[in-house]
Every structure is written in C-alpha cells, then in structure tokens.
Amino acid sequence: MHMTGPVSVDAMIEDLRTLVEVESPSRDVDALTASAKAAAGVLERRLGGQAVCVESPGGPHVRWSGGGDPRVLILGHHDTVFPLGTLARRPFTVAGGRVTGPGVFDMLGGLVQAVHGVALLEDRSGVEILVTSDEEVGSPHSRALIEERALACGAVLVFEGAAEGGALKTGRKGCGTFEVTVTGRASHAGLEPEAGVNALVEAAHQVLAVAALGRPEAGTTVTPTVASAGTVDNVVPARATVVADVRVATAEEKDRVEAGFAALTPHVEGAGISVRGGVRRPPMPESASAGLFALARRLRPGIEGRAVGGGSDGNFTAALGVPTLDGLGAVGGGAHADHEYVVVDTMADRAALVAGLVEAIRNT
C-alpha cells in the first residue's frame, strides 16, 4: 500500500474541532447548510478535489470522489441530535485522553477518521465519500442517493461509532416507529359519559395489543413509548395516540410486525383506529458484512464484530445486497448523551484501518 505518511492526530483533532463547533441539529436547514460547508472544507483541504453539496429539503449532503471507477462508498452523516446552544454548555474539549463535545462520537469523529484514512492513500481512485444531513431522523431525503451510490460502488464502509471495546458492527436490527391513532366521541364525563366513546380506554387496549406483537426470542421488540389522550378532566376523550418503537432482526419479522399493526381492531364499540409508520430501516444481516469483516480481521487480527440493536444508513445498503461493514468510526461512547466522548489514542489506528480496507477492497 502506497501511503503519503503517518497520521497526524493533532490534525485530526483540529478537523474534529472544526466540525463540532458548527452545530448541526437535524431538520435545521440553516445550521446544516453551514455544517455541510464545514465538512466540504475538511474534505477538500485533506483530500484535494471538489466536495459537492447536494441540496435536499432536509439540508445539504456532501459528496466527494477520488475519480476512476467507483469501488467503495464511505458513508457518514453530519447532522446530530443536539439542539442549537448545546455547544455553549458543553464545548469541544480535549482532556484526559478523551475528546468531548456534541457529536464527537456520533459521528463526527468517525467522519474525520475516514477522511484522514483516505488521505493516507497516494491513489484515491475508486473511493467515494457521502456525508448526509438527515441520518438521525431516518434519512428520508438521502436514502435514494445512498442506495444509488452503494449500488454503483459495490461495497460500503459506514463510519458510525464503534461498538463497545472498539468492535465493528457486523449486523443491525431493522427499526421503525408506528403511531396508532384512536378516534372516539366526546361527551360530559359527569352528565352523560355513556354518550361518549372513550378513546383513552380504547388506547389502553391497543397498548396491550401492540406490546403483544413483540417476540424477544426472535430478536423482535415492540415497545410502546409515547401516549396521549384527552383535553380536560371532565370530558370523555375523543382522541388518543400511541407510539411504539419496533426493532426486528429479520425481514420475516418485519413483515409479521407490519401485518400485526395493520390488523389492529377496536375493542370499544364506536371507536376507530388508524395506523401509520413502518420499519423504515430494514435489518442488516450479518451475512452482508461477512466478507468485509474478514478483510478487517486480516488487517487487525484481534478486532471483534458485534450485531447491535440500533439502525444506521448501513441498513439500507445491506438490504440491497451490497457488502456493508459498520462501526468503523470513533472508539468511545455516550452517543446522544452529555458524556459523549472519543478515545484519542485510538484515532490514528482507526484511520489507518480505513486505508487498509480501501486498498484490500480495490485489490479483490
């Protein structure tokens, strides 16, 4: 492998600071526009060429290509879950061997490692980098572009944060959200409750029916998470909603759970039910990562692989049958939490792993 020189951890931290200090909450198009420009700047400064901002209703995505026939897609995102103002409360900090700040682990640290890994290669042909703006909200505006480029490249490396202990993510559950809306009829709770149709009582039945769709022994969890009903305390509620989080390990379970939601029926006479949502991220089977994980094990014999419950854009690419390896990003923890961190001593080796994987893929 022809490399340009050793990884500079100081330069990686400098780039990570640049990205973190441009806050990028999902759905805030103005903030994401600024974040996309910052990401494009890092790509161009470290890799040369031109990073193109692709406009979308959810904010700009950023694309870079090393030219030549596409062989490997490096996939990441620049949106984060933290609202504007988080940086003032929790500024970018390097101390005690850790980098902290909003988005360092999920997933700006991984993005920086990927860029510096590709920068190690003298020949960057066949490499594409796609940094999307809406991963944290389900990738509604980037999915088609992700799938298009994954099919064109034929292999995908996803730079979400590593699993515990630095393990790569070799499988992911499919995930989705369902909302069950119950309609009833309002009436005075004291004068004529019998004239109403109690949406809250119906919702209670639906919570139990929804929870019963879970099948933990098959890796399927169906968890009611949010419920609301009613307006004031002396009115029979005419409307209620129940929201459920769903995780499935197989396509068959995805179909079963979606059919189960579609088949929900009212228990209270006069009540109506409607359901929206679905398993938007299909499962990422471990078979999708097997070949790429074997390459990673050759480069780092001690590295582990782990199937996890959370979803990523790798779910989409794996579902297309494109070989996909995830969890190549930062080693650390605390995703979506105030204690989010990246372990500094791991950054250079993870960047070097990127370079090795790209070279191995191009040689297969």
**Residues with a known catalytic role:** 79, 135
**Cα–chain center distance at 222:** 19
Question: Which neighbouring-strand residues pair with 273?
Answer: 182
Residue identified by tokens 């406009």 is: 55
Type of residue numbered 341: Y
Question: Which neighbouring-strand residues pair with 277?
Answer: 178
User: Alpha-carbon distance 342 to 107, whole Å?
Assistant: 10
How many residues in total does the chain contain? Answer: 364
Nearest to 128 by CA among 76, 63, 79: 63
Ramachandran sector of residue 166 (left: φ over 0; alpha: ψ -120 to 50; beta: rest): left
Nearest to 296 by CA among 126, 117, 40, 47: 117
Q: Which helix (H) or strand (E) holds 239?
A: strand 239-248
What would the two tokens of residue 41 be? Answer: 């700047």
Whether 313 contacts 146, CB under 8 Å: yes
Neighbours of 84 (CB within 10 A): 12
What would the two tokens of residue 30 be? Answer: 């103005």
